[in-house]
Structure 1
C-alpha cells in the first residue's frame, strides 16, 4: 500500500515539475535556471509544512512521492556544472548558494507555518 502512495504522488509531481520549470523559465531571459530553482524551493517549503504535522501516509504521498518527483538535485547539479563550463561562474555560484540558502529557509518557514497553523 505504501508504494502506491509514493507512485500516486510522483505521478503528479513529475509533470508538475516539468510544467512549472518550463513556465517559470520561459518568463526569464537569463541563463540562470529559475525553473529548477523554483521547483526545488517549493519542494523544500512543502516538506517543511509536512514535517511533524501530517500522518505517515500523507508524508509518503506528498513528501516522498510528490516532492520526490517535483524536486531535482540531479538537474540542479547538471545546470550548475553547465553554467560553470560556459563561463557563467557567478551564476553557478549564485545557483549553489541561493538554492541551498533559500531552500533551507523555505524548509524552516514551512515548519514554522505548520506549527503556527496546526500547533
Structure 2
C-alpha cells in the first residue's frame, strides 16, 4: 500500500524542526544544531521515502509515486514553515 507511516514521520519531523527554528531564531547553539540535524535528521526518513517512491514507480503506480515524492516534499516544507511561524509566535 501507500507508505503512510513514512509520510507521518516526515511531516511530524518537519513540523518539529520548524518549531525548533521558530522558537530559537535568536539562538544559535551546538545543542540546538545537534538536536535539529542529529535527532530530527535521524527521525525523518527522506531517503526511505524516495526508495518507496521508486518502488511505486516500479510497480507501475505512477500517481501514487508522484503523490509520495512531490507531495511529501511540498507538504513537509509547508508544515516546516507553519511550525516556524507558530514557534516565533510563542
Taking the aligned partners of 1:114 and 1:81, their CA distance within structure 2 comes to 34
Q: 2:63 aligns with which of 81, 84, 90?
A: 90
Larger relative contact order, structure 1 or 2 (CA cutoff 8 Å, min sep 6): 2
User: How many aligned residue pairs are there?
Assistant: 87
1:60 paired to 2:45: no
Report what 2:87 is aligned to: 114
> Structure 2 matches for 1:1-119, cutoff 5 A?
31-54=1-24, 55=27, 56-117=29-90
TM-score, normalization by structure 1 = 0.67
Mapped partners of 2:87, 2:31: distance in 1: 14
What whole-Å deviation, never above 9, does each CA across 1:69-93 have from its counterpart, x for those lacking one?
1011210110000000011111001
RMSD between aligned alpha carbons? 1.4
Return 5+ residue gaps in structure 2 as ranges.
Answer: none
Distance 2:11 2:68 in 1: 12
TM-score normalised by structure 2 residue count:
0.86
Q: Unmatched 5+ residue regions in structure 1?
A: 1-30
- Structure 1's consecutive aligned runs of 4 or more residues displaced over 3 angstroms after TM superposition are none
Deviations 1:50-77 (A, max 9, x none): 1153342442342122101101121011
